[in-house]
């Protein structure tokens, strides 16, 4: 059994700043940004880890679930 989760990342470029916004709709529209698609993706992945860590503590998920 794999503990890996997959979420769709949606990207949008802010026309005013040129920043790339990465959003994950399945996680309450969690989003982050960066100067490039790769940077935005790296930042939103880091945000997901924090978000899921908080959820596991609030829901008291068994320790066999690794992030």
pLDDT of 42 above 80: yes
51 CB burial (10 A radius; 0-12, 13-18, 19+)? middle
Percent of the chain at pLDDT exceeding 90: 66
- pLDDT, one tens digit per residue, over 22-32 is 999 999 999 99
pTM: 0.76
CB atoms within 10 A of CB 28: 8
Residues ≥6 apart with Cβ < 8 Å to 64: 3
Distance CA 40, CA 32 (A): 6
| CA distance between the termini of the chain | 14
């Amino acid at each position: 059994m794999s503990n890996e989760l997959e979420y769709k990342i949606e990207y949008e470029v802010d026309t005013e700043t040129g920043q790339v916004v990465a959003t994950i709709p399945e996680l309450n529209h969690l989003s982050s940004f960066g100067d490039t698609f790769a940077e935005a993706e790296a930042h939103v992945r880091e945000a997901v880890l924090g978000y899921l860590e908080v959820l596991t503590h609030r829901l008291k998920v068994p320790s066999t679930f690794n992030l």
